[in-house]
Amino acid sequence: MQATDTQPAASPPASRAPLADWLRLSLTPRVGLLTARRLLADFSSPTAIFAAGHGGLPGWLNAAQARALASAASGETADAVAVQLDAIDSWLRLPARRVLALDDPDYPPALRAIPDAPLLLYVQGRAELLARDALAMVGSRNASAQGASNARQLAEALSGTGLVIVSGLALGIDAAAHEGGLLGGGGTVAVLGTGVDVIYPQRNAGLAGRIAEHGCLVSELPLGTVPRSSNFPKRNRIISGLARAVLVVEAAAGSGSLITARLALDQGRDVYAIPGSIHATLAKGCHALIKEGARLVESADDVLAALAGQAPGVAGAAPDDSFIDPLLAALGGDPASPELLALRRGLDLPAVQNQLLALELAGLVERLPGGLFQRCGR
């Protein structure tokens, strides 16, 4: 893909008042994404939520959430909003940068349809790619040479048909998928687990620069957010949420790529997997997905045929939230590990990890050091 002769004009400063309210809602403690979406359904905008005052807030909020919203215009939340507004103003002065709120007409429609869509997206590069048909490609960070080659070739072929290739900028399969996406005509989108201005891992800094120029970098996290292990599972729902389907190229049995695949299923997306040798550790996760119903694919034509036969209207299907009360009851009042909760619930560990992620995004549980979880105060 060739660079253009001219750079796009710098983005104008965002209107600070509406953006400040979106930031305030996203940074208010104990108000997770699912709670925020429910509030927006009641009030239509963050400005209306904060204008309601404590007495005007809905009764379904718990006491801690109501207090946090009522006090969000002052204290630590207000300070954090002010810092971010200044950072955003400076960041937007450079070309091809945007901050998209959930109500922005240019917010990617496929992502908006998922129940825990980000309230804000920080976008650097070709924002128009976010609205195009996309395929997510994920897999092992410690990919085999053959796996990386397969990912690169498949991504290039599929990008050549106009599909946007979405991945997470990690080493291994992600990087190979982005490389292939850049070689085709469809382009590539990298979803970061850091602020969009913080590139991780640094080994992919050159690749990230090319994506920023010819594709698109995206993050939901505030500018300046450094790598934290808890943020990478959260960003996986954005990778799948931007795409029509998720293709897992290589994955061990406990790979984080399996979390992306299961989030995709929760979002109503299809999951495809490439098989491998029965003796290969990096094929175990793909084989497990295929046993669970993922479509086996071996070529770009297989992927295109699967997409062509995809049932319409599945994206954004209402998630099953029947697990919430039983999982909170199993957690009780003391911190617990996912492994212990899986034992208490009689479920496999990946299922409980997905459920804990949903509760964390909802603001119902919080992650503690050491990988433990506890219920948020009421």
**Do both 328 and 298 map to the same domain?**
no
Half-sphere exposure of 243 (CA within 13 A, CB side): 32
Give the residue from 267, 282, 308 where a domain finishes: 308
**Do both 73 and 134 map to the same domain?**
no
**Do both 201 and 344 map to the same domain?**
no
pLDDT value at position 359? 80
Determine, yes or no, domain membership for 154. Answer: yes
Determine, yes or no, domain membership for 82. Answer: yes
Determine, yes or no, domain membership for 240. Answer: yes
pLDDT value at position 160? 95
pLDDT value at position 350? 72
Per-residue pLDDT of the chain (378 residues; tens, 9 = 90+): 333 333 444 443 445 779 999 999 999 998 989 899 999 999 999 999 999 988 999 999 989 999 999 999 888 999 999 999 999 999 999 999 999 999 999 999 999 999 899 999 999 999 999 999 999 999 999 999 999 999 999 999 999 999 999 999 999 999 999 999 999 989 999 999 999 999 999 999 999 999 999 999 999 999 999 999 889 989 999 999 999 999 999 988 877 788 888 888 888 899 999 998 888 889 998 998 999 889 999 999 999 999 988 654 444 444 556 777 788 888 888 898 988 998 898 887 877 877 887 787 777 888 888 888 888 764
pLDDT value at position 15? 55
**Do both 286 and 334 map to the same domain?**
no
Do residues 241 and 114 touch, judged by C-beta distance below 8 A? Answer: yes
**Do both 290 and 334 map to the same domain?**
no
Determine, yes or no, domain membership for 7. Answer: no
Polymer length in residues for the chain: 378
Give the residue from 43, 67, 93 where a domain finishes: 93
Number of domains in the chain: 3
pLDDT value at position 321? 62
CB burial string 88-99: b at 16+ within 10 A, e below? beebbeeebbbb
Q: Which of 259, 260, 199 is nearest to 225 (CA)?
A: 199
Say which CATH number the domain at 189 has.
3.40.50.450
**Do both 295 and 161 map to the same domain?**
yes
pLDDT value at position 2? 35
Determine, yes or no, domain membership for 104. Answer: no
Determine, yes or no, domain membership for 32. Answer: yes
**Do both 212 and 284 map to the same domain?**
yes
How far is 61 from 63, CA to CA, in rounded Å?
Answer: 7
**Do both 25 and 64 map to the same domain?**
yes
pLDDT value at position 14? 44
Say which CATH number the domain at 343 has.
1.10.10.10
**Do both 77 and 136 map to the same domain?**
no
Determine, yes or no, domain membership for 356. Answer: yes
**Do both 204 and 302 map to the same domain?**
yes
For residue 222, the enclosing domain spans 127-308
- From first CA to last CA, the distance across the chain in angstroms is 53
**Do both 302 and 334 map to the same domain?**
no
**Do both 173 and 300 map to the same domain?**
yes
Determine, yes or no, domain membership for 316. Answer: no
